[in-house]
Amino acid sequence: MKKKELTDIKGKTIKDLNKLVFTKKLEAKKSKMNTVAGKVKNLREFKNIRRDIAQILTVIKEKQIFEMISEVKGEGKTK
């Protein structure tokens, strides 16, 4: 995944990112089957897809942590 694509992903919502992870996982399964069957010449494709999934999951986790921190700070101000 290129840096520009990663910055675009950071601007998406968690719901959109979860959909993207689901589609990437399907793509990874297809790629793995094609690699095992010998249909794919690019053997790194599966590795790249797995890396993309990991990067997206990292962005999701960062967003969840940021939301939790902002909720905690918001609760402290109301008291």
pLDDT of amino acid 78:
52
**Nearest of 45, 56, 59 to residue 23 by alpha carbon:** 56
pLDDT at 40: 83
pLDDT tens for each residue of 6-43 = 899 999 999 999 999 999 999 999 999 999 898 888 88
Number of domains in the chain: 1
pLDDT at 76 over 80: no
> What CATH number is attached to the domain comprising 16?
1.10.287
Q: Give pLDDT tens digits for 34-75.
A: 998 988 888 899 999 999 999 999 999 999 999 999 999 887
Dihedral sign (CA 31, 37, 40, 41): positive
| Domain coverage including residue 59 | 3-78
